Chain A
């Protein structure tokens, strides 16, 4: 099983600042990585797939990068609606696995 490790667990950021979230895979997943956003009481929402492709309707301030075992989700200028938990997920190999999540909170 491929283990996905996200860091940090919690990220405190002021509105308007940049946030950088990391996701590491225990073995290469090529570019088979997605990012999701989840707000309290809501289902996850797809943000990024293929490591760097924004999903339909996702603002340009969200960007993804990386390949192999190291991945990054960047939010260029945090808006109030961006404070949430973010998960990475690999779909390179069964079983599909998620990272433990990074909570982005208001500083």
Chain B
């Protein structure tokens, strides 16, 4: 059974930093691209960042580029999101999601339950 368990969320002041983790199990972690998707309170879904299975390729939304860094430790089946210079508009539930691509079709086929990040003074 695929499981994704996020941790590391919390309250942080504007300008602060936070590191999110996502512990994965139930699949060959290194074989899949992984992503972070966030959802501000009462709002829709926003893709944040993705990283290839090897970690060699990373992608970011313009809204976080230069402030967030995605990484992974395939030996520990763990995905990370290091967030710097946090702003109030980064307040959201952050979901870890597993990508799956087959026959040219990609999708987020499994999601974690999310971790809440609140940026406020």
Which A residues fall within an 8 A CB radius of B? 1, 31-32, 34, 36, 38, 42-46, 49-50, 53, 55, 87, 89, 91, 94-101
Contacts and interface: CB of A to CB of B under 8 A. Distances in A.
A contact patch SS: loop
Contacts of B47: 89, 95-98
B1 interface: no
B41 to A, nearest CB: 12
Interface in B46-73: 46-47, 50, 59-62
Contacts, number: 64
B66 to A, nearest CB: 14
A51 to B, nearest CB: 8
A98 B45 contact: yes
Interface residues of B, number: 24
A46 B108 contact: yes
A100 B108 contact: no
Interface of B: 35, 37, 44-47, 50, 59-62, 95, 103-114
Nearest to A91: B106
Nearest to B113: A43
Nearest to A6: B44
A97 B37 CA distance: 10
Contacts of B114: 43
Nearest to B111: A43
